[in-house]
Amino acid sequence: MNATVRITFAALMCVGLAACAKKQEVKTAPPEAPPEAVTQSTTTAGAYTPADLDTDACLRQRVVYFDFDKSDIKPEFQQIIACHAKYLRDRPMARMTLEGNTDERGTREYNLGLGERRGNAVMSALEADGASASQINVVSYGEERPVCREHNEDCWSKNRRAEIVYTAK
């Protein structure tokens, strides 16, 4: 019996010591972000520079397209507008002109008004994202500056646009 008590006591001691032992924390390195994510977060976190106008994929996109007879900004252009608004916030001396354009359908007066409404819609979106109105000028060219001269819907859709043109970087 004495041996049984010793074995039982030894087993209990091992279990007790194991329960009281400090648990070691296993530290794992955080997963590395893919290169694209690092570049994107650096760009959006840091201030833009004039060089970014030619190198940043978002800032290189400078055309916002519209549906027929509309001046509402499509959701797919919100990110582009946010990038340009951030650029204007980061660069208080920067200036841009928003050039509103339409397709050939409609009267000259109507198209000039529609082009202005499109430019103003982009300006309002930029201001909502923090850009200053003093940095933005709106011009309407109506149907006077088409990028496509064919008479079909595909061509007309390319002409229904507001172009972002930086006048001071």
Q: 59-104 pLDDT, tens per residue? A: 999 999 999 999 999 999 999 999 999 999 999 999 999 999 999 9
Question: Residue 79 — φ and ψ, nearest 5°?
Answer: -65, -40
pLDDT of residue 55 exceeding 60? yes
Higher pLDDT, 118 or 34: 118
CATH of 47-168, one of 3.40.50.300, 3.90.650.10, 3.40.1360.10, 3.30.1330.60: 3.30.1330.60
CA dist., res. 146 & res. 62, Å (int) = 16
Question: Residue 12 — φ and ψ, nearest 5°?
Answer: -65, -40
Res 30: pLDDT: 45
**Average pLDDT of the chain, as a whole number:** 84
31 pLDDT band, cuts 50/70/90, is very low
Res 42: pLDDT: 36
- Please report the beta strands in 45-123, taking only residues with DSSP state E, as ranges in sequence order: 63-65, 95-101
Rounded average pLDDT over 154-165: 97
CA dist., res. 81 & res. 89, Å (int) = 12
Res 29: pLDDT: 46
CA atoms lying within 13 Å on the CB side of residue 22: 3
Each residue of 103-157: pLDDT tens digit? 999 999 999 999 999 999 999 999 999 999 999 999 999 999 999 999 999 999 9
